[in-house]
Chains A and B, each alone.
Chain A
Amino acid sequence: AQTVTQSQPEMSVQEAETVTLSCTYDTSENNYYLFWYKQPPSRQMILVIRQEAYKQQNATENRFSVNFQKAAKSFSLKISDSQLGDTAMYFCAFIPSRTSGSRLTFGEGTQLTVNP
């Protein structure tokens, strides 16, 4: 069974600064995907960034980037130039890539607050 752990229930950052959210996971799978989802107050789940385990290069999407350490089973999210609209709950998630219809395993979430 896979597990995903986010050890920071809450974090805060000043606008325009950089913040890193931590995520570790445990799996025996070799091929999988990792995701960071954002859930703002509207509660719509929004995909922030996705990483394929077989790719060594860290994924980036504008101000969002990850530090993927496969051996350490670590997948942290860095948000640069934080904006007020980044305030949300952030979930790290894992899915094995071996079959379609595989379940997505979520971490407990990190509530991020960006202060003006």
Chain B
Amino acid sequence: GAVVSQHPSWVICKSGTSVKIECRSLDFQATTMFWYRQFPKQSLMLMATSNEGSKATYEQGVEKDKFLINHASLTLSTLTVTSAHPEDSSFYICRGQGGDEQFFGPGTRLTVL
């Protein structure tokens, strides 16, 4: 069945490095990909929305130069955290939507040392 896969599931990196998170839609075409950030015991916070082939739309307060989103195809979207710092440590989740179908990726736990 249709799912969204997300890789890596967890990553630990040093401060100042960049990290790329990939979300792939399987058995459906995600025309829109939503990227969320979630802190422990809190709700999901929408960071940005991307449509295939278009520039992402970022929520207020989210630095677009720090969180680079690419949605080059209907099956792949990436989020790159550039020059990561400890405060970027969080759980990142993608949600792919195509027509009436929508699926969450399993999430990526990012720890920046």
A-side interface residues toward B, CB under 8 Å? 42-45, 89, 91, 100-101, 103-104, 106-109, 111
Contacts and interface: CB of A to CB of B under 8 A. Distances in A.
B107 A101 contact: no
Q: Is the interface of B mostly helix, strand, loop or mixed?
A: strand
Nearest to B6: A44
Contacts of A111: 41
B32 interface: yes
Interface of B: 31-32, 34, 38, 41-44, 46, 49, 51, 91, 93, 95, 97-100, 102, 104, 106-107, 109
Nearest to B101: A100
Contact of B95 (A42, A89, A104): A104
Q: Is the interface of A mostly helix, strand, loop or mixed?
A: loop
Contacts, number: 45
A101 B42 contact: no
Contacts of A42: 106
Contact of B49 (A89, A103, A109): A103
Nearest to B93: A45
Contacts of B51: 101
Nearest to A6: B43
Given A44-B104, A44-B106, A45-B104, A100 B99 contact: yes
A96 B89 CA distance: 31
A43 B91 contact: yes
Contacts of B32: 100-101
B43 A106 contact: yes
Contact of B97 (A43, A44, A45, A100): A100
